[in-house]
Amino acid sequence: MILSYAEAYIGGEFRPCTGELRMPVVCPATEQQIGEVRACSAQQVDSAVQHAAAGFAEWSKSSLEERRGVLLRLRGELAARADEAAVLLAEEMGCPVWLGKLMQVPMPLKGLDLAIEALGQLEWEERIGNGLVERVPAGVVVAITPWNFPLHQIVAKVAPALAAGCAVVLKPSEVAPGAARLFMQAVHAAGIPAGVVNAVWGGPEVGEQLVRHPLVNRISFTGSTPVGRKIMMAAAEDLKPVTLELGGKSAAVLLDDADLDAAIPSVVRLSLANSGQACVSQSRLIVPQHLQAEVVERWRAAVAQWPIGNPLDESTRLGPVATRAQYVRVQAMIEKAGQQGAVMVESQAGAAHAVPGQGFYVAPVAFTGVQPHMEIAQEEVFGPALAILGYETQEEAQQLANATKYGLSGAVWSADTSRALDFARQLKTGQVVINGAAQNLATPFGGWGWSGFGRENGRFGIEDLLNYRALHGAP
C-alpha cells in the first residue's frame, strides 16, 4: 500500500485533487515508491486563491488575541504529531529520525513560539507628528516551499502570515509531501477559520499559476536560486513583492588562533547535517595554509563519528540524499571538482544501506587544492562535499569568504572573540556564527545577493508580510 497525497485543503475542507499529473514519492533509502502525489487542477488552484481572498477579508480584522489563540492551538496540534513527522521525514527524504527529533520538528515549534511572542513586540500603530502609521496585513500570501526542511519551511511562512493577519495558499514540495499533509491536519484540528490557510498539490505549473494569480498579493518562496529568479520575473508582471530564501555557499573561516578541537566537529556537523542538504550548510572551509594538513586529518576523525545508514535507525547520523536527481547532481559535482584539479579526500564512513546495494547514499568527501574559481568553491552542492581553501593572510581569508555570489550564512572561529567579531563584520552574508554559537531563531533570517532577500523568523518574518499605511491628520 502506498501513501496517497490526493487531497487538497481548500476553504477549511479536504477535497480530492482533480488534476491529471501524478508524481511518485520515492524512499531514498530503498529506492522504492512509497507514495503518490496527485496534482490539483487549474480550477482547484483558482478556488484555493478565491477561498484565501474570502478568508483574508475576515482574518485581516482579527484581534491579536484571536491570532495568538490560533497560533497556540496550531502549536499544540503540531507538537502532538512530532514523532509521526520525524518518521515521515526519514521515509520520504532520508533525514535520520535523530535529526528529525533534534531539529526538523523542534524548529517549527520554536517558530510558532516566536511568532506568538512577536505579536506583542510589534508596533502595529505608530504616531509621528500629525501622522498615524499603521502596519496592515499584506493580503493573500502564496507560500512555495522545498523538501529539505519541509515542516520548518512551511511554518516559517504560515506562522508569520497568521500573525500578520494574512491568508495563505501553500504549495509544498512534491518530493516530501508528508510534512505538509501533517501540517494541514494540524491546521484543521486547530480550528483555524476556513479559507485562512489553504494548501494545493502540484509541481512547477501549479506554483506558476499561483504566482500569476491576480488575487495574490505577495509571494514567499524558499527554494533554489534558478527557480527564485523565475518566480521573481513572473511576479514582476503584476508588481507583486516577493520574499526569496534561496541557496547558499557559506564559508566557515578558521583564524590562525582558532580552537580546532571545537571548530572542526562543529564545521563537520554544519556541513553534514541533513546530508549537506541545508541552505545554511557550511560547504566551504577557509583555513590558514600551514594548518591545512592537520585540518584534513581532524576532518577525517570527526566524519568517522557520523555513521551512514538507514534513516529510520536511531543511531544513524547521515542518511541518503533525498532523490535520485540529487544523487546524480551531487556525484557529478564531486567528479567535476576532481576534473578541475581539486584533490579529493575520502572519508572512512561506509554506508550501512537499509537494503543492501540500494539507496541514494553519498559518503562524505572533502577537497583540498581548491581554487576560488572552481565549481566546488562557487556553486551549492546540496550534498556532503566540503571545499577546503587555504590562505596566507587574514585579508586573503576575507576575500575568499566573500568570493561567491551567495550570502546566506557563515562562521568564524578565533580564540579572541573581538577579533572574530571584527572579521564577521567584513562578511557579505545574512548571518555569521561566531565560535559555534547556537543559531538564535528570534533574529532575522535571510540572504544577500544570490541567496535572496526578505526576512523570516520572529517579528522580522511578520514585518515582511505587512504594508504601511500613513494617515495624515488622524485624530
Q: Active-site positions?
A: 245, 279
Binding mask 448-467 for ligand NAD (x = CB under 6 A): ---xx---------------
Binding mask 304-343 for ligand NAD (x = CB under 6 A): ----------------------------------------
Give the residue, chosen from 59, 98, 147, 423, that forms a contact with ligand NAD under the rule CB under 6 A: 147
Residue type, 242: V
Residue 231 near residue 221 (C-beta atoms within 8 A): yes
Give the residue, chosen from 60, 62, 224, 378, that forms a contact with ligand NAD under the rule CB under 6 A: 224
- Measure CA 283 to chain center: 16
- CB atoms closer than 10 angstroms to residue 12: 17
Give Cα separations from 236 to 58, 78, 211, 447 (angstroms). 28, 35, 10, 20
Q: Is the sign of the CA dihedral 302, 305, 310, 311 positive or negative?
A: negative
Give the residue, chosen from 77, 92, 245, 464, that forms a contact with ligand NAD under the rule CB under 6 A: 245
Give the residue, chosen from 222, 283, 316, 431, that forms a contact with ligand NAD under the rule CB under 6 A: 222
Residue 145: CB minimum distance to ligand NAD, A: 6
Give the residue, chosen from 105, 116, 155, 231, that forms a contact with ligand NAD under the rule CB under 6 A: 231
Residues 6+ away with beta carbon under 8 Å from 396: none
Residue 225: CB minimum distance to ligand NAD, A: 6
For position 247 contacting ligand NAD by CB under 6 A, the verdict is yes
Rounded-to-integer distance, Cα 311 and Cα 317, Å: 8
Q: Is the sign of the CA dihedral 23, 28, 32, 34 positive or negative?
A: negative
Residue 197 near residue 180 (C-beta atoms within 8 A): no
281 φ/ψ sector (left φ>0, alpha ψ -120 to 50, else beta): beta
Backbone angles phi, psi at 425, to 5 degrees: -70, -10
Q: Which of residues 48-77 bind ligand NAD (CB under 6 A)?
A: none
Q: In terms of CB distance, is 386 or 397 closer to ligand NAD?
A: 386
Q: In sequence order, what are the beta bridge partners of 35?
A: 3, 25
Binding mask 121-140 for ligand NAD (x = CB under 6 A): --------------------
Give the residue, chosen from 227, 273, 362, 374, that forms a contact with ligand NAD under the rule CB under 6 A: 227
Give the residue, chosen from 144, 180, 196, 362, that forms a contact with ligand NAD under the rule CB under 6 A: 144
Give Cα separations from 400 to 284, 338, 396, 403, 414 (angstroms). 10, 20, 6, 5, 17
Rounded-to-integer distance, Cα 62 and Cα 256, Å: 55
Q: Which of residues 368-407 bind ligand NAD (CB under 6 A)?
A: 380, 382
195 φ/ψ sector (left φ>0, alpha ψ -120 to 50, else beta): left
For position 24 contacting ligand NAD by CB under 6 A, the verdict is no
Q: How many CA atoms lie within 13 A of 259 on its CB side?
A: 11
Give the residue, chosen from 49, 211, 362, 401, that forms a contact with ligand NAD under the rule CB under 6 A: 211
Closest chain position to ligand NAD (CB) = 207
Q: In terms of CB distance, is 49 or 287 closer to ligand NAD?
A: 49
Residue 214: CB minimum distance to ligand NAD, A: 16
Rounded-to-integer distance, Cα 262 and Cα 254, Å: 11
Q: Which residue has the cell 491570532?
A: 67
Q: In terms of CB distance, is 207 or 319 closer to ligand NAD?
A: 207
Q: In terms of CB distance, is 70 or 144 closer to ligand NAD?
A: 144
Q: Which of residues 155-184 bind ligand NAD (CB under 6 A)?
A: 171, 173-174
Give the residue, chosen from 7, 58, 113, 208, that forms a contact with ligand NAD under the rule CB under 6 A: 208
Residues that bind ligand NAD (CB under 6 A): 144-149, 171, 173-174, 203-204, 207-208, 211, 222-224, 227, 230-231, 245-248, 279, 380, 382, 408, 447, 451-452
